[in-house]
Structure 1
Amino acid sequence: MTDHIYLTSEKLSVDEITQLVSAPDCGAVSLFVGFSCDVGSTRDSFEGRVVKQLEYEAYTPMAEAEMRNICAMLREKWRIKHIAVFHRLGVVPVMEASVIIAVSSEHRTDSLEAVSFAINALKSSVPIWKKEIYEEGVAEWKENKECKWRRSSSLTT
């Protein structure tokens, strides 16, 4: 049983992360790819404005500690084998993954429920901040609606 926690400025690979959690005694690997996005990668528009790119920042020691806490919670609730939680930092161009969470288990229900819990927990508790840069050059820091420290409005730069 291994927990892979990784914050990186490098492009994330679904295949590589899937391999990290795959095991011969597991019948399922469940994945979440993306970050607040319907298609699993950085979306190209928000509220009618064209998003050129996203930028992520994190307080790395605290983010990694929270990610480890999420892994511990997953292991308490479900029978799972391996967990990978990878989040991209820095500039993330449109159509590249910002986050990949992968969970393996003997049976699909455990991995599916665990990966769903993991992305919701990550968005609510891990100190990672997202800035959207729009085509017209305007940038906005965005807050997750699930975030524990959320303010009533977004910050604009």
Structure 2
Amino acid sequence: MFTKQKVSLAAAALTSMVVLGTAVAAQDDSVLTVDATLTSACAVSAGATISFGSFSTLAAVDQTADSGSTFTVACSADMEPAIFATGTRTIINGANSLPFNLSLTSGAVADDLPATLALAAALTVVQDGTEQIVPLYARLAKANFGALPAGAYANGSAVTVSVSY
């Protein structure tokens, strides 16, 4: 039979077990590992277009496309992009072909955009990931178009501008 004293002792024992059970609750820890791998890259916008517009075969000077065409390049830090353009730099009309210079400098006096990766020119852009405009310029030499027949001249073969990084 239970007496008041036995019930009180039983309640005290039960209370201390609950308190002690709470005080000694189990805990497991795990260290969280976090990692990431950043890779360097450049992004280049889609195709550029150069248009010389309309001019007379009697024009007395070379024709330039100094408004040229642009494309954008965005490179991350530590990238050293280089540019080159492959393909035949001529525009054609039937059997008639008209060569042009392709350049990164206004006036395009020299055909200074290399034609191979081995000769690729350094492309000076800020390497912070922001898109930057890269202009292309072209020139048709008077000596090459003065004797050609009038008509629309367009790419004979695709010229591909490449950015290597």
TM-score by length of 1: 0.29
Name the one with the larger strand percent.
1
Name the one with the larger helix percent.
1
Larger radius of gyration: 2
TM-score by length of 2: 0.28
